[in-house]
A and B are shown apart, each in its own frame.
Chain A
């Protein structure tokens, strides 16, 4: 057997000279493994029923993608809930997601499922497919390994035989497959060129972005290659993504916004990245502005000192006197606390602690809350 071809550099014609496996003719559907970069190599991808495919890939229908599920490497139980491919939101527009196709072939599905369930993918034989096509394919982004369940003839050979392609079923038809999920480089700030047309797999969940998972880069992947500990891979994936998300504020990771409070002589600045919950932000703001609040108790009339108490703070900020609001990217003033934290820090431009009559209109619920507490 000759060693299988591996991922060609995608995009920019930067294809590496990879020896083509002679047995690859590049004309058959094969098992491919999909992998999420954020997770361990292929293996952690569990089977999940994935739904839509982009219309652009009619030939996708020929691909029987196996169910994929996502799971953390090293976790002992694999998640079975269907999840969708996760990509950096910024890059989503251009990158196709994994073509998550429901299994069409019953036989394959169970085997594949089992394969996936155990967290290991048959890597190699599946990866060979389509290598020969890489150079000519429009797959500039590289390929995902798919654990596609093809027609039943493939099933027998699929998964775990360790055979090299040469089986009709194993070959990947990358270009026709579109299910070649093109994934962008999740971690790096290096923007990847958008995959070319045929690869667009925007189907399911194109609009979904998940904080923690990044689609693997566009290279073809082999299970367990490169040999990096999954812990390291996952950690780097997560942290790189966080860095990527910084939106132009000074320095990676810092997200300073102005905080103003009605009646205070000057404004403050806080780094939203220092907090991970609304609670923390609240307490911190409370501490910052406590100097100004002494004497201005919450509706329950407690002395200023007790403002330091967190629940009192909630009363304070969400009570009838004060409301914490923020200005979002559109310039609208919104009540803090409605959306998930991650979304909040993405869109928050500045904070404002409103009081009194201004506040009442914005947070009727808050008023009721504080009344209830009293």
Chain B
């Protein structure tokens, strides 16, 4: 192989797409290292503070596609202060300065300012793809810059971001010459949209495959858009309310029937149930349906709809579908692989909620199920055992009982056995979230059986340090461990400090870990950043090592403590 010219080797390497494999290739010899280094195009950085932009550029100067993740996962649930960090601007600046030919940027839980967006739009001539998930810090002005300056923009995908709406005409900023759009998702925007500009944009985007509209886009505009873009594969509906007797509605029906390529529906951010029959014609070919943001659709309407979606592989829905509705899903959607049931009323008790019955029904009807997020009122060990038996293919299993310390509702026992059955049966399980009344025993099961587990989320569980130790010693592949409100202390934290360098991060909040314990850890492991997040002014006055730490977030890093931490975040 060494007798081939570099270009040939590089061409061979092009077929190796997995970064893991490419890492291995780099270790073979210096010349392979060099060739691979310059030809690596996709880089994934799971923690933006684990490495610096300069080092990234030095290592992979040819990077074209970058994925960056910032805040810890629990930031989604407001456990992390807003100013904690995760700023993308330094990255953009560094990439721009080094004239990296960036084409794709995907970010999750990062702080993205308008300046950053503006810089992206100006510095990278071939910029094609921008995906922002759960980010914040920007306004529609930043979007306007992207629209105006990225001449070859293909994808602008905004998922669940907090965007300040300046009521500007950002959609107008797409020049008439922009015809390259393939995917446009602005469903998370709250403000008004220039509907005419939107229609024109769709009309001149023949490659548009995915379009997700915000609530401000009414049904009549949707109808006009669908007439222009019958080739759409993925549609997010904004507002879906109209008089079903009207001409607009019947035009919509006609337009929808022509959308033969439609495979994925989402949105319905505002919806009248009596309008739903309009989408019946495309139900039979849908593989993905997300009604989790559609408020107020009664369970009966939901089931009427889902009954027709026999090819569904992915379903995100609100719990107002009820156990019976899930039964309908189970009997209609035999190909279902991913199910997410969100609470329509997270804090109350409603008749709408689902219980273990719904889950068991699903497991019986959908053996291909491999990914689950299930918010429910109650659960039993028996149900979990049944589910484990029926669906051994789980890769992601996240169960959230709305009352987080609730025991088995029929036996009042902890749910250890149930989750134990899950981890034992699902040998490929990579992600697990627990809830309910749980003792150390469940962790012993996890440590013993969950060999492929990479991410574990624990809340209000366990009795002692042993619980956490089971996980740390048993789960060889664990990368992300996040714990809240569990009785795990310094012993658990400090028993195997080397373990943390094999993981991406550890989060512990409201546990029994003390400041002293964290300091010890930080001292022993210089290549970890041990951050203490402390929002209580009291702490500053009484810095006592014996005090329990409110929130601790530690992660491995090659670049030492970060310099952009706010006052109340200390890196030990």
What is A's interface to B at a CB cutoff of 8 Å? Answer: 1-11, 14, 16-19, 37, 40-44, 72-76, 110-111, 114-115, 117-125, 142, 155-156, 158-163, 185, 187-190, 192, 216-219, 221-233, 235-236, 239-240, 242-243, 251-254, 256, 271, 273-274, 276
Contact = CB atoms under 8 A, between A and B. Distances in A.
A226 B535 contact: no
Given A120-B81, A239-B295, A242-B295, 7 more contacts: A2-B463, A115-B535, A142-B347, A190-B345, A219-B348, A223-B78, A231-B162
B348 A192 contact: yes
B394 interface: no
Contacts of B406: 6, 16-18
A96 to B, nearest CB: 15
A160 B273 contact: no
Contacts of A14: 349
A171 B409 CA distance: 27
Interface string B142-168: 000000000000000000111000000
Interface string B320-359: 0000000000000000000000111111111110000000
Contact of A75 (B162, B273, B292): B162
Given A114-B537, A119-B78, A5 B405 contact: yes
A125 B510 contact: yes
Nearest to B292: A232
B44 interface: no
B272 interface: yes
A226 B348 contact: no
Contacts of B501: none
23 contacts: A9-B349, A10-B348, A16-B349, A37-B347, A41-B77, A76-B136, A115-B535, A118-B83, A120-B78, A123-B510, A160-B550, A185-B350, A190-B345, A190-B351, A217-B346, A217-B348, A222-B404, A227-B76, A233-B346, A239-B269, A239-B293, A251-B274, A256-B243
A118 B535 contact: yes
A271 B245 CA distance: 13
A74 B241 contact: no
Interface string B106-125: 00000100000000000000
B36 interface: no
Given A19-B407, A162-B509, A230 B76 contact: yes
A218 B274 CA distance: 31
A12 to B, nearest CB: 8
Nearest to B320: A188
A118 B81 contact: yes
Given A18-B403, A73-B78, A235-B293, A229 B134 contact: yes
B78 A44 contact: yes
A286 B258 CA distance: 34
B77 A229 contact: yes
A221 B346 CA distance: 10
Interface in B491-515: 509-512
B171 interface: no
A7 B404 CA distance: 9
B532 to A, nearest CB: 11
A254 to B, nearest CB: 6
Contacts of B199: none
A175 to B, nearest CB: 20
B460 interface: yes
A225 B345 CA distance: 12
Contacts of B273: 251-252
B460 A162 contact: no
Nearest to B294: A239
B345 A224 contact: no
Nearest to A78: B82
Q: Which of A11, A74, A231 has the most CB of B within 10 A?
A: A74
B296 A163 contact: no
A223 B346 CA distance: 12
Contacts of A228: 77, 342-343, 346, 375
Nearest to B296: A243
Contact of B78 (A41, A161, A217, A271): A41
